[in-house]
Amino acid sequence: MQVISDIPLLRQQRREWQNNGRVIAFVPTMGNLHQGHLNLVREAKKHADEVVVSIFVNPMQFGPDEDLEAYPRTLERDALLLEELGVSLLFVPKVADIYARGLEQQTFVEVPGISYMICGASRPGHFRGVATIVCKLFNMVQPNLAFFGEKDFQQLQVIKAMVTDLSMNLQVFGVPTTREDDGLAMSSRNQYLTAQQRLIAPILYAQLQALVASIKQGRRDFSKLVSACKAHLLEHGFSPDYIEVRAAQTLMPPSHEDTDLVILAAAFLGKTRLIDNIQFQF
């Protein structure tokens, strides 16, 4: 596996592959890889000749009071895991090269509407930071295919909208969330949890499952269901940020005709913000 920081070197390898007709899949990450990331790579390998993974903790998508400094950085271990999986190239760009003119001056990509709701309302500017870095990475790697986790459901929708709106020449794949045995969605942020919080954490997913079950049984009083769910989470020591029932394609509140739904949730356990979602039909 090649490990490359230099953007011109990446482009050179990209050109070689293209000249040889190789199909290139791309998995962008912020590192600290867990089985969820590795499953993205495994899926990417099924569809492509060469898999490129990037590790870049993107300052532009962190708010001023968020965990940019504390975000776990485990490059050596990550590189070993990717090598074992047969990744062709690990791209580890430097902040100074990515934001060469400084973050303040950086041209940005923003997908309107969908970026401002739900997680976007709680984390202003977050999806602008995500769309901008993913657009830049796509321009550097120029993949044929790109793979993202469904755990970040809204992020996936933002990226799909960007690819459509900007006529980008690649296909975006969502990969189902990888869970621990007790149901907790895998996330690099889970390691911030204390032992006690880790025991409580799976209740978030269990509550979402209970909500889905109620809706499938015919309940349509979403706001009542959501309030009960928030109260339950509070009792267990969570501070719920949001729980929303939305139409899966648009993320708008569902109309009577919408049958493809998603429940999205974010809740704090202490300082750790957990997110999860379940997409379902009814």
Residues near ligand PAF (CB under 6 A) are 28-30, 58, 61, 130, 133-134, 152, 155
> With b meaning 16 or more CB within 10 Å and e meaning fewer, what string describes 50-87?
bbbbbbbbbebbbeeeebeeebeeeeeebbebbeebeb
CB count within 10 Å of CB 214 equals 17
The nearer residue to ligand PAF, 148 or 222, going by C-beta atoms, is: 148
We find the least distance from the C-beta atom of residue 237 to ligand PAF, in angstroms, to be 26
The nearer residue to ligand PAF, 211 or 264, going by C-beta atoms, is: 264
We find the least distance from the C-beta atom of residue 258 to ligand PAF, in angstroms, to be 26
d(CA 186, CA 152): 11
The nearer residue to ligand PAF, 133 or 204, going by C-beta atoms, is: 133
Catalytic residue among 37, 47, 232, 256: 37
d(CA 155, CA 41): 18
Q: Dihedral (C-alpha) 164, 166, 168, 172: value to the nearest 10 degrees? A: -40
We find the least distance from the C-beta atom of residue 174 to ligand PAF, in angstroms, to be 12
We find the least distance from the C-beta atom of residue 142 to ligand PAF, in angstroms, to be 17
Quick one: angle between helices 7-19 and 126-141, nearest 10? Answer: 50
- The β-bridge partners of 262 are 246, 279
Respond yes or no: is residue 37 known to be catalytic: yes
We find the least distance from the C-beta atom of residue 71 to ligand PAF, in angstroms, to be 10
What residues contact residue 197 under an 8 Å CB cut-off, 6+ apart?
237, 269, 270, 272
Terminal Cα-to-Cα distance of the chain (whole angstroms): 45
The nearer residue to ligand PAF, 130 or 269, going by C-beta atoms, is: 130
d(CA 241, CA 208): 14
The nearer residue to ligand PAF, 166 or 234, going by C-beta atoms, is: 166
Active site residues: 37
